[in-house]
């Protein structure tokens, strides 16, 4: 019964554009704009509905309580007295990007036959560095069955940003895989967020076979162009790797290793003379969900911005008209997330397991999504302007919204932990 489940982060009611993420071009470009948390969260729900329509199991991860008073207390501050830059970092809704929640190694890949998850430390960015305790609490509840091993984060200073820098290639989701950890070493003016030491630590914790584990350097050109995570320039699903020509520092060496370990691999590489790095990053062509829909069709779920980019859309149409492994493209509207630098892939954490082993409160069907949408429509702020981040009325509304959602899902104990 092993299936790949997409656990999407529900966009939190404090969603705003504070421009906290250097290297994330969309986030910095839109700093100071007015955000629309209600629309953002409902866009995420619509994306989950589209996944269900493709026959995919769907899960959720919940927004964290904001502001993060515990983090501010550790800085010997309260919210009212905190300087503006720390208020913004304590108020961020960044846990919505569940691809950064953890790295996941399903049972067929691990030495003990358990599914291992290591929570990402996210130490490179201050506004994300305090996410991991709440993420760890959620994952330990969702995956409390002994089949799972949920690990605390890699210690600082080794930056780990989770599944956004990890790919799993295999014949089928229930077959042993080649696990690929992508790390950075330099990125021009921008920090390389994933450290090789962190990736190697995760691989040891997950008891992976060193002979089927690859550590691959992301190209400095990609990082400098705004590919702050590997999933901005590459994505994998089962036997298919879909990547930009300039994604990796040693693409030929990586591809040779991959073909040696997984002879059936199909590498779909988009040439730079068809789609530039700038177009790939603007459109988030690769920050797509590459999934196996019911019936076995390899399907690429792209943001509407990909359809709006002439070079990207032309390449996609040519690929679909040919004999490549990606046979369908679905377009979703996640424009509020995109404006903060997160596409369809950023919003989800992939876990291949038997759904019966997961706490059912973290799994959704159409009816549960209806209930969640009702809570969002009734409680999420319609808009948050940049000068409203410290507004007591907004803070109170965000707190009520969090509690309403956690109560509706019978998870209020997590909010109080």
* Domain spans in the chain, listed from the N-terminal domain onward: 3-416
Chain mean pLDDT for the chain: 96
- Is pLDDT at 48 greater than 80 in this prediction? yes
Claim: this prediction has a pTM higher than 0.95:
yes
- Is pLDDT at 208 greater than 80 in this prediction? yes
Residues taking part in catalysis: 161, 229, 346
Classify the C-alpha dihedral 155-27-279-187 as positive or negative: negative
**What integer is the mean pLDDT of 55-70?**
97
pLDDT confidence band for 291 (50 / 70 / 90):
very high
- Is pLDDT at 416 greater than 80 in this prediction? no
- Residue 22's pLDDT is 81
- Is pLDDT at 247 greater than 80 in this prediction? yes
- Residue 172's pLDDT is 96
- Residue 353's pLDDT is 98
Structure tokens at 391: 């507004």
Exposure of 320 in the CB half-sphere (CA atoms within 13 A): 14
- Is pLDDT at 27 greater than 90 in this prediction? no
- CATH number corresponding to 3-416: 3.75.10.20
**What integer is the mean pLDDT of 316-344?**
96
pLDDT confidence band for 417 (50 / 70 / 90):
low
- Residue 231's pLDDT is 97
């Amino acid at each position: 019964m092993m299936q790949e489940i997409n656990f999407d982060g529900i966009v939190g009611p404090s969603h705003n554009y504070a421009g906290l993420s250097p290297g994330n071009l969309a986030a910095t470009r839109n700093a100071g704009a007015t955000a629309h948390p209600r629309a953002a969260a409902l866009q995420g729900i619509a994306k989950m509905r589209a996944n269900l329509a493709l026959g995919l199991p769907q899960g959720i991860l919940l927004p964290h309580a904001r502001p993060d008073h515990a983090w501010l207390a550790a800085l010997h501050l309260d919210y009212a007295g905190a300087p503006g830059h720390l208020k913004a970092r304590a108020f961020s809704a960044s846990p919505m990007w569940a691809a950064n929640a953890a790295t996941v190694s399903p049972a067929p890949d691990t030495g003990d036959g358990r599914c291992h998850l290591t929570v990402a430390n996210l130490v490179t960015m201050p506004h994300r560095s305090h996410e991991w305790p709440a993420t760890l609490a959620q994952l330990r509840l969702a995956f409390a069955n002994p089949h799972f091993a949920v690990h605390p984060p890699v210690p600082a200073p080794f930056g780990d940003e989770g599944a956004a820098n990890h790919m799993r290639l295999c014949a089928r989701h229930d077959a042993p895989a080649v696990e690929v950890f992508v790390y950075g070493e330099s990125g021009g003016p921008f920090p390389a967020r994933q450290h090789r030491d962190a990736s190697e630590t995760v691989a040891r914790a997950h008891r992976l076979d060193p002979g089927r584990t690859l550590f691959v350097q992301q190209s400095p050109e990609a990082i400098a162009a705004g590919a702050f995570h590997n999933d901005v320039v590459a994505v994998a699903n089962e036997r298919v790797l879909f990547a930009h020509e300039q994604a990796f520092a040693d693409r030929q060496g990586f591809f040779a290793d991959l073909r040696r370990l997984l002879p059936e691999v199909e590498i779909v590489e988009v040439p730079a003379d068809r789609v530039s790095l700038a177009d790939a990053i603007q459109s988030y062509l690769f920050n797509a969900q590459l999934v196996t829909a019911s019936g076995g069709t390899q399907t690429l779920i792209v943001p509407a911005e990909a359809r709006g980019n002439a070079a990207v859309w032309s390449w996609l149409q040519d690929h679909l008209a040919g004999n490549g492994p990606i046979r369908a493209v679905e377009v979703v509207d996640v424009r509020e997330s995109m404006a903060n630098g997160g596409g369809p892939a950023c919003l989800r954490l992939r876990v291949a397991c038997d759904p019966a082993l997961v706490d059912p409160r973290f799994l959704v069907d159409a009816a549960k999504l209806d209930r969640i949408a009702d809570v969002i429509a009734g409680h999420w702020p319609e808009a948050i302007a940049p000068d409203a981040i410290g507004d007591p009325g907004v803070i109170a509304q965000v707190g009520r919204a969090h509690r309403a959602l956690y109560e509706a899902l019978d998870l209020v104990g997590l909010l109080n932990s």
